[in-house]
Amino acid sequence: MEQSEVLRVARLARLKLADSEVDSYARQLTDILQYVEQLEEVQTDGVEPMAHPGGVTNVLRDDVVTESLPVAEALANAPRSDGRYFVVPAILDAG
Amino acid sequence: MSLTRASTDELLQLLDSREVSAVEVATAFLDEIEARDEQIGAFLTVDRDGALTAARTADERRAAGESAGLLGGIPVAVKDLVCTRGLRTTCASRMLENFVPPYDAHVVRRLRDEGAVLLGKVNLDEFAMGSSTETSAFRRTVNPWNSEHSPGGSSGGSAAAIAAGLAPLSIGSDTGGSIRQPASFCGVVGLKPTYGRVSRYGLVAFASSLDQLGPLSRDVSGSARLLQVIAGHDPQDATCLNVPVPDWTGQLEQPLEGLKIGVVAEQFADGLDDEVAAAVRAAVEVYRGLGATVEEIELPHARHSVATYYLIAPCEASSNLARYDGVHYGHRAEQFDDMVDMYAASRGEAFGSEVKRRIMLGTWALSSGYYEAYYLKALKVRRLIRQDFDDAFRRVDLIAGPVTPTTAFRTGELTGDPLAMYLADIYTSIANLAGIPGISIPAGISQAGLPIGLQLLAPSLEEDRLLRAARMYERETNWHTRWPASL
């Protein structure tokens, strides 16, 4: 995996990497991808992908109103809040 | 006998007969933690006040002639990946260093309902990503059998706490072997239940189609009891199965008649340590001596399990860990340019290198142009691995084999080579991919003095068979009664 590819994936994953990390990930991810390429040799024509092992699908519940988390508790772990909302940097220009 | 050396059953007998109080039991373990955990490194948070309060409640219930619950007064250490209301839950990550959950995980609520005494939260690899507990952002956990060796992972704090006599029971989680491998490395019992047997509500998600909570204990009976408490339907987890929970503890002493055990020849080929192979073969002979028949079976796709696992798990992880955005909870960077940069800076700073590596791998495999060739391909091989087990279990009742290729590796031995660390999951990750239950039980000690585990795998929902078979072996051997020489 090229360093430019590492940076592309890091951008997709919203990860800011140090230069040294870009180097080591390029090397390590190349190793891992070479290893997993062994799956190419497995004949999988007509095999249904298995997303999870459970025997359940479309689990429904009654649409009943239940208590939700109080605002103060929901905000208690927020890095920034104003007591009513989560606070984030401005995402639109003021002008 | 020292209270901290007692098994869960022994402690319950002492408590039920009122020979000791739950406060005395809790105090014994808390004092032991205080005296020795600086060296072991199992705990991230010790909740002395909470533990003593729960112990007093158990004592009051017994004094009033009420039932104290299935675990009345029994101390339990909980992996710090499981939400505990009002008690810091870090996932061993800087990202959640100060996170205090506003709710209890389903398993924690079940523990409290049955009178368990929560001692605190134990160490793990960051977000359960690792096989050595070395990726924890906070502390190193040593293997109580030899402090230069890893306790395994990711539930390394759970296994080390039990092996060192700091807790009789622990809750762990197993995504690719994270209960069974540390149990094997530390010489304790660890069980991964069938996918869906235990609610994942409040278990911080790593790979949702593979994660399962389960017990670790000194002996098989302890795991049976803890599983009895945490298993069962919970509507808060849509994948949690609505099926009856058998009376595992009640049936445990009944041996299985006409047991057919499968052994996979390929698991004994290259890469398996000689001493581990010999111990596992000897364990199979114990079953033969008890009247079991042994049959060689094949799992033709099992050799692809690590490749399959290390695509599926990182893909799910990259999606699950997208929630850490520095907005609702967790770390937020001090310096950033704009909103998107805030996400990237916060995540770049607070996640450790293994977590970032897996997010990167998963993001790549799910990205345009690679999704079909890698992620979908892995899901198809996963189906074939499951079918291998379905075929095998038409012929045999259980599969016996090694848990890990070697005994506990040295701390630092594999940290520079992630792929080598991943390959250690070869025998365990197959059970998560297929969704079947598995158990690791103590089955030997190497020349170097390190424990060896035996893995038993059973068909979905056959925990009863797994536990009773494990107990049959345990009754014939005394590996589970050994303690590290240093203790």
**CA torsion angle B251 B252 B256 B259 (round to 10):** 130
Task: Return the domain boundaries, chain B.
Answer: 3-256+468-481
B154 is catalytic: yes
Ranges in chain B, pLDDT < 50 = none
Domains and CATH numbers, chain A: 3-40 (1.10.20)
A-proximal residues of B, 59-78, CB under 8 Å: none
B62 vs B58: CA distance, rounded Å: 6
DSSP B298: -
Terminal-to-terminal C-alpha distance of chain B: 14
Give the nearest chain A residue to B98 (CA atoms): A77
- Which residue in A1, A36, A48 has the most chain B C-beta atoms within 10 A of its own C-beta, making it the best mutation to test that interface? A36
Find residue B122's DSSP bridge partners: B43, B79
Query: How does pLDDT run across A61-84, given as a tens digit for each residue?
Result: 889 999 999 999 999 999 999 999
Token pair 């002008």 is at which residue? Answer: A95
Judged by CB atoms closer than 8 Å, whether chains meet at B304 and A77 is answered as: no
Query: How does pLDDT run across B216-266, given as a tens digit for each residue?
Result: 999 999 999 999 999 999 999 999 999 999 999 999 999 999 999 999 999
From the number of C-beta atoms within 10 Å of its C-beta (0-12, 13-18, 19+), residue A61 rates as exposed
Q: Which two tokens stand for residue B411?
A: 């701390």
A-proximal residues of B, 245-274, CB under 8 Å: none
In the set B7, B155, B178, B217, the catalytic residue is B178
Judged by CB atoms closer than 8 Å, whether chains meet at B195 and A59 is answered as: no
In the set B79, B173, B217, B305, the catalytic residue is B79
- Position with higher pLDDT, B271 vs A15: A15
Kind of pairing, strands B438-445 and B189-192? Answer: antiparallel
Is residue A95 very low, low, confident or very high in pLDDT (cuts 50, 70, 90)?
Answer: low
Q: Where are the beta strands (DSSP E) in B244-316?
A: 260-264, 293-297
Q: What is the pLDDT of residue B436?
A: 98
Give the nearest chain A residue to B319 (CA atoms): A13
Q: What is the pLDDT of residue B487?
A: 83
Decide: pTM greater than 0.90: yes
Q: What is the pLDDT of residue B21?
A: 98
Q: Which two tokens stand for residue B34?
A: 């205080």
The yes-or-no verdict on residue A57 having pLDDT over 90 is: no
| Overall CATH class of domain B3-256+468-481 | alpha beta
Instruction: List chain A residues with CB under 8 Å of B376.
Output: 49
The yes-or-no verdict on residue A94 having pLDDT over 70 is: no
Instruction: For residue B363, give the nearest of A9, A17, A79 by CB distance.
Output: A9
From the number of C-beta atoms within 10 Å of its C-beta (0-12, 13-18, 19+), residue B287 rates as buried
Q: What is the pLDDT of residue B69?
A: 97
Q: What is the pLDDT of residue A59?
A: 87
The yes-or-no verdict on residue A56 having pLDDT over 80 is: no
Judged by CB atoms closer than 8 Å, whether chains meet at A79 and B326 is answered as: yes
- Which residue in A42, A43, A63, A92 has the most chain B C-beta atoms within 10 A of its own C-beta, making it the best mutation to test that interface? A42
Q: What is the pLDDT of residue B375?
A: 97
A-proximal residues of B, 13-32, CB under 8 Å: none
Lowest-confidence pick of A19-28, A51-60, B357-366: A51-60
B429 is catalytic: no
B17 is catalytic: no
Q: What is the pLDDT of residue B310?
A: 96
Judged by CB atoms closer than 8 Å, whether chains meet at B359 and A21 is answered as: no
Judged by CB atoms closer than 8 Å, whether chains meet at A53 and B434 is answered as: yes
**Cβ of B349 under 8 Å from any chain A Cβ?**
yes
DSSP for B154-165 reads SSHHHHHHHHTT
CB B400 within 8 A of CB B293: no
Query: How does pLDDT run across B136-191, given as a tens digit for each residue?
Result: 999 999 999 999 999 999 999 999 999 999 999 999 999 999 999 999 999 999 99
CB B44 within 8 A of CB B158: no
The ipTM estimated for the assembled molecules is 0.95
